[in-house]
Chains A and B, each alone.
Chain A
């Protein structure tokens, strides 16, 4: 039987639950006992997914704001390991996790693999797959340390929805190794509205051809939860501000999805697109250069495209 610890550190319970799929890939048919530890508010939402849920006995942790106390979180995880001798420890690769995991690996003298995106395992030989060189290369890594298998995993890489036990076992643990905190959170500035198109993963960009209906791009952007960008010709006509110009002399962007409407694709514009995952080009001219680098080309009028696509998207929502 394999014992795993999953750290449920921040408010996102789903992040922790999803890691169960990773455990599943690690050990397959072998029986596993999954332990969860972390933010008390989160633990409640893990009921039914985890075998064991651990809370601190003396409520020491609640006294300090544990959320960003990297060293104390590491201390607790180390104590848990010493008590339970886990085969593997999985940590979500969020801001805190990325600082906790490496420290813990030094403590436990074991190998750590960051940002695992896939797992290949036959139960005994386990390879953790992760990207390197800005995603250009994939590496398969093995642990050589004598300690537990350790990995950090980003959100949405794995998914898990099935409940595993009727009732999780709750345990109280007397953490002894809590130190005075070396870091204090002073204040938080909330999520700023993504002013910068460089931050957006989905961009709907309008070119010279969209001048007469440029406003409608916002509707499509909203439906896809993206932002609107523009090529130089639109900026020149003062239909949109320079801050959303994409191109060699505007901003360089790396969105996941780029929908280019009425954009011919001159090199000056294309130079602003680096590493995008998917490109849809909507253009009346099939010879426009941008069509050669698009995944999907829609030959036709941009205004018609937006209206028809929005109708299709909303129709689906209504069907729900």
Chain B
């Protein structure tokens, strides 16, 4: 549909100030943090959306989706804009972005029943702040917390730094409300648990905007005891020891909120002041006093068991200091943009995977070996490392990080640097049966492997898409591979 006509139709559904056609905003909306360097250098290769709209209610979202569905217009659901895998990138000429900016009310904070209900456009950091005043927390603490909003956090099955205790978003969501392409509004009620057929929340949690639009979420509350936080850290000989220590803590039933193991190079970035060229293991025990103390003891016992692999203990004052400075802010993001303009280097690209205890360490070593041997730009890498940051009783994740100096045209940066790295990491992970995407979502840039990731179960994902979004208008290219979009991926 021509933009002129589109805008006229939109004006029938919304007021003028709910429609944004500013050129700069549209350029900004055409890609997310995945192509941050190309965006800053103004060499994006993708089309701009035609408009950004800000619905005020779920009914307005319903009208919009119905309209787009009938007219085959691509819809990009958006809230906090912190996506890192191309989930917000636009691959269609006819597209609108539906932004949750006006869906920003905190509807209810229910302290007795330990639940908080908010609309999709509420900033997690702001919700957290309000809760902490009352002595509570959501327990969800991704690095993007100060900026990310609830809709996106649920849509991407996000996870936070304290997940080892509180779980990922899927453990925190109680009920929610979402809208489907045919306009249908579904409200999943808030109950503590039920066996009412399959758990349909999981169609929505993690759909990455490819099936529906989330308008409201209810999450659990936890009591907040920051005064009981205990930090424990160790320098260890190698990643194998580090992973073993993490496993020991987990299988014995302890739930520290933070459980991490950094490889040497990765450790250097964060802990240059005490890592002494070793891998670093960090724990934080949190919760009410008795639990925090017991968890601390459990950590010490795990360390004791593997003491031949442990070089020394780290002063907890140092860890506390580090932890306080961990999160992003909008300023961090802006500053990063400025920095990329001035200097020709890329800070921090990542590919994060998961596996069971046995597999994850194999994946780590295979990836490191293969990159050092095969990667054609290994000379330009200024950092190559990995860290485990989310543990479970039956495994953990591995977050590979890499920085590089850019010695090529900005338009070529991704295909020269990140894509070949990502390919190696994904291939090695899938080979050993791990998952290629622990918490960032598939987005658009790992969709080439979606089928391999799910194997015979892909059938179930495919059917969901066929049923809920038969016209393929929801976030074209996300999760489900599309031949038409390949030109933007290579």
Chain A directly contacts chain B within the complex, with at least one CB pair under 8 Å: yes
Task: Tell me the A residues contacting B by CB distance below 8 Å.
Answer: 232, 235-236, 242, 247-252, 264-268, 270, 285, 287-293
Task: Select B321's contact among A236, A264, A268, beta carbons within 8 Å.
Answer: A264
B113 interfacial contact with A, CB 8 Å: no
Cβ–Cβ contact A289 & B273, under 8 A:
yes
Given contacts A249-B340, A249-B342, A249-B343, contact A287 B335 (CB under 8 A): no
A127–B39 Cα distance when bound, in Å, is 56
A267–B267 Cα distance when bound, in Å, is 11
Given contacts A248-B347, A287-B318, A287-B321, contact A267 B340 (CB under 8 A): no
Instruction: Give 22 A-B contacts (CB < 8 Å), ordered by A residue.
Output: A232-B331, A232-B335, A235-B335, A236-B331, A242-B338, A248-B343, A248-B347, A249-B336, A249-B338, A249-B342, A250-B339, A251-B342, A252-B343, A264-B321, A264-B325, A265-B273, A266-B325, A267-B269, A267-B270, A287-B315, A292-B272, A293-B273
Complex interface: chain A residues within 8 A of B347 (CB): 248-249, 268
Type the 1/0 row for B283-327, where 1 means its CB is closer than 8 Å to any CB of A.
000000000000000000000000000000001011011100100
Task: Tell me the B residues contacting A by CB distance below 8 Å.
Answer: 268-274, 315, 317-318, 320-322, 325, 331, 335-336, 338-340, 342-343, 347
Complex interface: chain B residues within 8 A of A235 (CB): 335
Cβ–Cβ contact A292 & B321, under 8 A:
no
A251–B342 Cα distance when bound, in Å, is 9
Complex interface: chain A residues within 8 A of B322 (CB): 289
- 7 shortest A-B CB distances, which residue pairs? A249-B339, A292-B273, A289-B273, A287-B321, A236-B331, A287-B317, A267-B269
A252–B345 Cα distance when bound, in Å, is 13
- Least CB distance from B68 to A in Å reads 38
A267–B339 Cα distance when bound, in Å, is 14
Complex interface: chain A residues within 8 A of B342 (CB): 249-251
Interface of chain B: mostly helix, strand, loop or mixed: helix
- Least CB distance from B194 to A in Å reads 46
A264–B317 Cα distance when bound, in Å, is 14
Cβ–Cβ contact B335 & A249, under 8 A:
yes
Chain B residue nearest to A289 (CB atoms) is: B273
Interface centre among A232, A236, A252, A289 (most CB of B within 10 A): A289
Complex interface: chain B residues within 8 A of A268 (CB): 347
Complex interface: chain B residues within 8 A of A264 (CB): 321, 325
Cβ–Cβ contact A289 & B317, under 8 A:
no
Given contacts A264-B321, A285-B321, A287-B318, contact A270 B336 (CB under 8 A): no
Complex interface: chain A residues within 8 A of B269 (CB): 267
- With A268-B347, A287-B318, A289-B321 given, can you name 10 additional A-B contacts, CB distance below 8 Å? A235-B335, A236-B331, A248-B343, A249-B335, A249-B339, A250-B342, A267-B269, A287-B321, A289-B322, A290-B273
Cβ–Cβ contact A248 & B339, under 8 A:
yes
- Least CB distance from A263 to B in Å reads 12
Chain B residue nearest to A265 (CB atoms) is: B273
- Least CB distance from B47 to A in Å reads 29
Chain A residue nearest to B315 (CB atoms) is: A287
- Least CB distance from B387 to A in Å reads 14
- Least CB distance from A57 to B in Å reads 57
Complex interface: chain A residues within 8 A of B320 (CB): 287
Cβ–Cβ contact A288 & B336, under 8 A:
no
Cβ–Cβ contact A288 & B321, under 8 A:
yes
Complex interface: chain B residues within 8 A of A266 (CB): 325
- Least CB distance from B428 to A in Å reads 27
Complex interface: chain B residues within 8 A of A292 (CB): 272-274
Chain A residue nearest to B274 (CB atoms) is: A292
Complex interface: chain B residues within 8 A of A288 (CB): 321
Interface centre among B268, B273, B325, B343 (most CB of A within 10 A): B273
- Least CB distance from B289 to A in Å reads 24
Chain A residue nearest to B269 (CB atoms) is: A267
A267–B335 Cα distance when bound, in Å, is 14
Cβ–Cβ contact A267 & B272, under 8 A:
yes
A6–B317 Cα distance when bound, in Å, is 59
Complex interface: chain A residues within 8 A of B274 (CB): 292
A264–B273 Cα distance when bound, in Å, is 11
- Least CB distance from B481 to A in Å reads 35
Task: Select B273's contact among A232, A249, A250, A291, beta carbons within 8 Å.
Answer: A291
Interface centre among B270, B272, B318, B322 (most CB of A within 10 A): B272
Complex interface: chain B residues within 8 A of A236 (CB): 331, 335
- Least CB distance from A267 to B in Å reads 5
- Least CB distance from B345 to A in Å reads 8
- Least CB distance from A74 to B in Å reads 40
Complex interface: chain A residues within 8 A of B268 (CB): 267
A113–B461 Cα distance when bound, in Å, is 73
Complex interface: chain B residues within 8 A of A252 (CB): 343
Complex interface: chain B residues within 8 A of A289 (CB): 271-273, 318, 321-322
A232–B328 Cα distance when bound, in Å, is 13
Complex interface: chain A residues within 8 A of B317 (CB): 287
Chain A residue nearest to B318 (CB atoms) is: A287
Interface centre among A250, A287, A291 (most CB of B within 10 A): A287
Chain A residue nearest to B320 (CB atoms) is: A287
Cβ–Cβ contact B272 & A270, under 8 A:
yes
Complex interface: chain A residues within 8 A of B343 (CB): 248-249, 252
Complex interface: chain B residues within 8 A of A293 (CB): 272-273
A247–B338 Cα distance when bound, in Å, is 12
Chain B residue nearest to A290 (CB atoms) is: B273
Complex interface: chain B residues within 8 A of A291 (CB): 273
Chain A residue nearest to B337 (CB atoms) is: A249
A288–B321 Cα distance when bound, in Å, is 7
A267–B275 Cα distance when bound, in Å, is 13
A233–B272 Cα distance when bound, in Å, is 20
- Least CB distance from A240 to B in Å reads 14
A242–B320 Cα distance when bound, in Å, is 30
A206–B267 Cα distance when bound, in Å, is 26
Chain B residue nearest to A249 (CB atoms) is: B339
A227–B320 Cα distance when bound, in Å, is 33
A293–B325 Cα distance when bound, in Å, is 19
- Least CB distance from B268 to A in Å reads 8
A248–B331 Cα distance when bound, in Å, is 14
A291–B274 Cα distance when bound, in Å, is 11
A288–B322 Cα distance when bound, in Å, is 8
Chain B residue nearest to A235 (CB atoms) is: B335
A289–B340 Cα distance when bound, in Å, is 25
A266–B322 Cα distance when bound, in Å, is 9
A86–B123 Cα distance when bound, in Å, is 80
Chain A residue nearest to B329 (CB atoms) is: A236
Complex interface: chain A residues within 8 A of B339 (CB): 247-250
A233–B288 Cα distance when bound, in Å, is 34
- Least CB distance from A241 to B in Å reads 12
A145–B320 Cα distance when bound, in Å, is 63
- Least CB distance from B477 to A in Å reads 30
A265–B347 Cα distance when bound, in Å, is 17
